């Protein structure tokens, strides 16, 4: 048992770019990439890096990002900067770049770094070079095909899932962020090859306002979208990770067998 656990720990790939924490969304903005540097410091000082394979990831290209996003949108992200944004007024509005998703120095570079790490993780999983891939910089699940949303510009999750689908017939995506994973859900809403499951706060106009239990997918993807909307006040006793894991084990078995998933309310 211990040798198996050791082998699994050694098969964990951890992707970290030392420069990713240097980007800044702007004064007063709640999204702070610097926290990634703090997280990495914990990994180092607790010695967790000894249990993992550590990689400095490559940067994602425009071509990589256009696997999901439109070329016009990615081209805009590459060209716009705080110094020239006055000349992109129409594009800023069209691509929803502004208040929540500001233009900041190195915007495209930031997107390239976190997306590249997630994509490299998916590639290693595909080639069975690791069993677990970790990229704390990724997970920007609100970005849409044609626009930014909720502090997210490039949806590295969707791009990575598309990479996984090259080698795997189906992918189960589980989102436990406080916000609904709307960008990922929207991307795969019509297919049965990806099942999206999201646990999130819902109601009282909480962002993004989507993710009720009646959003179940459509066409081939009907019943391959599962949302667990939660209200304020949930505590540790109710939100037990063990309960979630047990539910996910059952769901994984059903999804793997290609049976239809019918949501139930508890």
Q: Tell whether 177 is in a known binding site.
A: yes
Q: What are phi and psi of 17, to 5 degrees?
A: -105, 120
Half-sphere exposure of 116 (CA within 13 A, CB side): 18
Q: How many degrees, rounded to 5, is the angle at CA 137 between CA 132 and CA 140? A: 100
Say how many residues make up the chain. Answer: 266
Q: Contact, 128 vs 167, CB < 8 A?
A: no
Pick the catalytic residue from 40, 69, 141, 142. Answer: 142
Q: Tell whether 156 is in a known binding site.
A: no
Could you tell me which residues are beta bridge partners of residue 198? Answer: 175, 227
Q: Quick check: is 142 catalytic?
A: yes
Sheet holding 225-230, edge to edge: 171-175, 194-201, 225-230
Only one residue has tokens 């050694």, namely 10
Annotate 63-94 with b (16+ C-beta within 10 A) or e (fewer). ebbeebbeeebbbbbeebeeeebeebeebbee
Q: Which residues are annotated as a binding site for a divalent metal cation?
A: 177, 179
Question: Residues annotated as binding site?
Answer: 177, 179
> Which are the catalytic amino acids?
142
């Amino acid at each position: 048992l211990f040798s198996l656990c050791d082998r699994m720990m050694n098969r964990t790939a951890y992707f970290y770019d030392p420069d990713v924490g240097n980007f800044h969304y702007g004064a007063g903005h709640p999204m702070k990439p610097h926290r990634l540097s703090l997280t990495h410091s914990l990994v180092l000082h607790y010695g967790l890096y000894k249990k993992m394979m550590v990689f400095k990831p490559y940067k994602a290209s425009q071509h990589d990002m256009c696997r999901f996003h439109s070329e016009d949108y990615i081209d805009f992200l590459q060209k716009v900067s705080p110094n020239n944004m006055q000349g992109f007024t129409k594009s800023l509005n069209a691509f929803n770049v502004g208040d929540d998703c500001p233009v900041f120095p190195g915007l495209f570079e930031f997107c390239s770094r976190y997306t590249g790490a997630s994509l490299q993780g998916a590639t290693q999983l595909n080639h069975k070079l690791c069993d677990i891939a970790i990229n704390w910089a990724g997970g920007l699940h609100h970005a849409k095909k044609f626009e930014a949303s909720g502090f997210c510009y490039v949806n590295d999750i969707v791009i990575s899932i598309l990479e996984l689908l090259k080698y795997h017939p189906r992918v189960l995506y589980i989102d436990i962020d406080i916000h609904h994973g709307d960008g990922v859900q929207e991307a795969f809403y019509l297919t049965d090859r990806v099942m999206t499951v999201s646990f999130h706060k819902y109601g009282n106009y909480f962002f993004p306002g989507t993710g009720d239990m009646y959003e179940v997918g459509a066409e081939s993807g009907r019943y391959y979208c599962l949302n667990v909307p939660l209200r304020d006040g949930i505590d540790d006793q109710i939100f037990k990770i063990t309960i979630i894991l047990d539910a996910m084990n059952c769901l994984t078995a059903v999804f793997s067998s290609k049976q239809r998933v019918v949501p139930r309310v508890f």
